[in-house]
């Protein structure tokens, strides 16, 4: 089973996500991937604006769809879908981490 990583490593991709009050927050896309057996695409993002070290460890996951230049983000609501995304993310991070040694 192979997972496809989507993206370019040269320049960070920045997206803006509105919070509950409508203020746009800046996030860096750290990874995009597809899970085998599914047409769904996922992205992992981290907040940019905070200098707090704890927030650097916060990673948010979204299912997304692209329609031309438009990007639609969807929260991951089901436990099953979340487990698949989390497992895939951890596997990919382990693979990247192994290359750094």
Helices (H), the chain: 53-56, 79-99
- pLDDT tens-digit profile of 8-42? 456 889 999 998 899 999 999 999 998 877 789 99
Q: Which residue has the tokens 């650097």?
A: 56
What phi-psi label fits residue 74: left (phi over 0), alpha (psi between -120 and 50 degrees) or beta? Answer: beta
Specify the pLDDT at position 39.
85
pLDDT band for position 2 (cuts 50, 70, 90): very low
Three-state SS for 7? coil
Res 94 pLDDT > 70:
yes
Q: What is the DSSP letter of 12?
A: -
Q: Give the residue numbers spanning the domain of 45.
A: 4-99
Specify the pLDDT at position 67.
87
Least confident of 35-49, 50-64, 73-87: 50-64
């Amino acid at each position: 089973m192979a997972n496809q990583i989507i993206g370019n490593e040269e320049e960070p991709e920045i997206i803006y996500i509105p919070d509950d009050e409508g203020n746009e927050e800046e996030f860096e896309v750290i990874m995009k991937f597809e899970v085998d057996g599914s047409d769904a695409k996922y992205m992992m993002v981290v907040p940019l604006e905070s200098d707090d070290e704890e927030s650097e460890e916060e990673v948010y996951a979204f299912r997304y769809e692209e329609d031309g230049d438009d990007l639609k983000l969807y929260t991951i609501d089901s436990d099953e879908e979340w487990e698949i995304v989390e497992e895939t993310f951890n596997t990919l991070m382990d693979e990247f981490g192994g290359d750094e040694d």
